[in-house]
């Protein structure tokens, strides 16, 4: 396999995302740490960490990249009926710790969300950069959620869980609508899945993705308090 750059913990840098391997798709570098400064540098440059407990930290920038443009969210007829019933209640930043831990523990295929990852993203949450979105049923039970990173007018979705039918889809509609209201240009979904594609996500070349980042990560969203006091409109928006 082609030799990959090894990142030392005392040096804050990444190779250009364009230098990522084609096989495995997007693998760019190894090592470093999960400090807030390194994570923010990674996201600003289209890079994210993805590894398991028995591996060193692996950094990725796949090509193509799966994204959802907020105004392109697809709402099927059946999902529209679910939204109109207002069965679920959506909140944001109410229980970040529970959301990220449920994202880790509810994946049947295992998880890359290690204890170190939980600690790192919890730090980003305390800084006001990482956010959680929660889905509650009428019994006030947490039945769905997502966490991710917000920089400028880009939201980088990290992981999602769903314990009730349609919980994740309702979350996606609410999130996409709110991001559109705030003038966000994209939601990064990283790698495509049938679920994401059914919701309107699509893949774009990495060059296009990086171009959007350069134009948007330093632009404030369209809201008075851009540090994210998230308020949610109804699903009819």
- Domains plus CATH for the chain? 6-63 (3.30.70.3550), 66-216 (3.40.630.70)
Q: For 167-170, which contacts have Cβ atoms below 8 Å and span 24 or more sequence positions?
A: 167/88, 167/135, 167/137, 167/143, 168/135, 168/144, 168/195, 169/79, 169/82, 169/199, 170/79, 170/82, 170/83, 170/88, 170/90, 170/135, 170/144, 170/235
Q: Name every residue whose Cβ is closer than 8 Å to that of residue 140 and which is 6 or more positions away in sequence.
A: none
CA-based diameter of the chain, in Å?
54
* Predicted TM-score (pTM) of this structure: 0.92
Round to whole Å and give the CA distance between 141 and 158. Answer: 22
- Band (pLDDT 50/70/90 cuts) for residue 224 is low
Whether pLDDT at 54 is above 70: yes
**Hey, which residues does 160 pair with through a beta bridge?**
146
Whether pLDDT at 41 is above 60: yes
- Band (pLDDT 50/70/90 cuts) for residue 234 is very low
Mean pLDDT of the chain: 91
In terms of pLDDT, which residue wins out, 227 or 135? 135
Q: What is the pLDDT of residue 53?
A: 82
- Band (pLDDT 50/70/90 cuts) for residue 199 is very high
- Band (pLDDT 50/70/90 cuts) for residue 229 is low
In terms of pLDDT, which residue wins out, 228 or 167? 167
In terms of pLDDT, which residue wins out, 73 or 107? 73
Q: What is the pLDDT of residues 61-101, one digit of tens each?
A: 999 999 999 999 999 999 999 999 999 999 999 999 999 99
Whether pLDDT at 127 is above 80: yes
31: three-class secondary structure by DSSP: strand
Whether pLDDT at 12 is above 50: yes
- Band (pLDDT 50/70/90 cuts) for residue 221 is confident
Whether pLDDT at 158 is above 50: yes
- Band (pLDDT 50/70/90 cuts) for residue 233 is very low
Residue 127 has, within 13 A of its CA and on its CB side, a CA count of 16
Whether pLDDT at 232 is above 60: no
- Band (pLDDT 50/70/90 cuts) for residue 236 is very low
In the chain, what percentage of residues exceed pLDDT 70?
91
């Amino acid at each position: 396999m082609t030799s990959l750059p090894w990142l030392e913990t005392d040096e804050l840098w990444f190779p250009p995302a364009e230098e990522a391997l084609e096989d495995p798709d997007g693998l760019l570098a190894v090592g470093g740490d999960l400090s807030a400064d390194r994570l923010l540098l990674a996201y600003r440059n289209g890079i994210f960490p993805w590894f398991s407990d028995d591996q060193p930290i692996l950094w990725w920038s796949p090509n193509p990249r799966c994204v959802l443009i907020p105004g392109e969210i697809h709402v099927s007829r059946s999902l529209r009926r679910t939204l109109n019933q207002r069965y679920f209640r959506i909140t944001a930043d109410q229980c970040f710790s529970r959301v990220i831990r449920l994202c880790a523990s509810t994946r049947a295929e295992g998880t890359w969300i290690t204890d170190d990852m939980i600690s790192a993203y919890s730090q980003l949450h305390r800084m006001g950069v990482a956010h959680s979105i929660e889905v509650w049923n009428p019994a006030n039970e947490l039945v769905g959620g997502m966490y991710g990173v917000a920089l400028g007018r880009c939201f980088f979705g990290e992981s999602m869980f769903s314990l009730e039918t349609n919980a994740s889809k309702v979350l996606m509609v609410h999130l996409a609508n709110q991001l559109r209201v705030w003038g966000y240009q994209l939601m990064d979904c990283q790698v495509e899945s049938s679920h994401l594609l059914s919701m309107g996500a699509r893949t774009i070349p990495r060059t296009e993705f990086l171009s959007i980042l350069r134009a948007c990560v330093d632009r404030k969203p369209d809201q008075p308090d851009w540090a994210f006091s998230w308020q949610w409109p109804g699903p009819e928006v």
